[in-house]
Structure 1
Amino acid sequence: MSYIAPILIGIVYVLLMSLVRRPDSRRRLNALMVGGAGAAYLSGGGFGGWEFLYTVVATYVAYRGLESWTFIGIGWLMHTSWDLLHHFKGNPIVPFEHGSSMGCAICDPVIALWCFRGGPRVTIPWRASRTREPVAPQ
């Protein structure tokens, strides 16, 4: 299994999210994304009712993430642990790709670290002079 591709996917995710200019919109979109990730194993993760319980907790964390980057980061780390459980004991997140849960477990902490930093816009160095965070009106 390659460890580079999942890390690159996490970096691409952060770069794409950086295209969302308004910080509050970026945070809310990420709360939706982590909430959706919380339901990724519902259709056959292999843990029965535990899949539903995890989804309930992940939904609550995503809801709190609507107003808090910290909760979004926690949600991604929760998903990392759920990915690891599925890799070792359950079914993979992508049924035809055995290592997909491990790949997701490697990708998610990259996103979580960015979230714990407050989800800042990440600019490409040669475009840095033209991309600034919008300032909220006072």
Structure 2
Amino acid sequence: MMIIAPILVGLGYVVLMSLIHEPHRRRFNAVMIAGAGAAYASGGGLGIWELVFTALMAYVAYRGLESWTFIGIGWLLHTAWDVVHHLKGAPIIPFLDDSSFGCAICDPVIAIWCFAGGRSVTDFLRARVGSRRPRSSVG
């Protein structure tokens, strides 16, 4: 369950973000990357490196305003930071010891979606369901 739940959270994130129309979806996700970069800043336990990582993620988020690739890179950077915190720092959710581990599993799911262009999966599903309906013949 420690692996399945974070994957489901990542998939849930993708579905919820799919409800936001472009170009707002990409910009909103860039803001999310900036926030993810600062998630450990107040108590991650890695000192000045928390601020360095926050600055790096701010740059990646800025580039992500115009690029899904940079947003995907941001999620992978955050994955690496989650692993570091799981092994050496404080968890992302202070009262859940394995929360950084879970985040490290969730984030690549989101990154894959971003590298695929952050397309709306809800639009894709609607199109697939609509194409399977039998067509009525007017006679």
TM-score, shorter chain, exceeding 0.5: yes
Is 1:25 aligned with 2:14?
no
Q: For the structure 1 residues 126 and 61, does the alpha-carbon distance in structure 2 shift closer, same or farther, using more than 3 Å as the test?
A: closer
Q: Which aligned pairs between 1:20-99 and structure 2 lie closer than 5 A?
A: 20-21=20-21, 23-99=22-98
SS of the equivalent of 1:123 reads: helix
1:24 to partner: Cα distance: 1.3
- What's the RMSD between the two structures over aligned residues? 1.6
1:124 to partner: Cα distance: 7.5
**Letter in structure 2 aligned against 1:70:** T
Q: Which has the larger Rg?
A: 2
Q: For the structure 1 residues 95 and 122, does the alpha-carbon distance in structure 2 shift closer, same or farther, using more than 3 Å as the test?
A: same
1:2 to partner: Cα distance: 1.2
* Structure with higher helix content: 2
C-alpha distance in structure 1 between counterparts of 2:118 and 2:111, whole Å: 9
1:127 to partner: Cα distance: 3.5
C-alpha distance in structure 2 between counterparts of 1:127 and 1:65, whole Å: 27
1:11 aligned partner: 11
| TM-score computed with the length of structure 1 as normaliser | 0.89
Structure 2 residues without counterparts, runs of 5 or longer: 132-139
Aligned length: 129
2:113 aligned partner: 114
Percent same amino acid at aligned positions? 65
Structure 1 residues without counterparts, runs of 5 or longer: 131-138
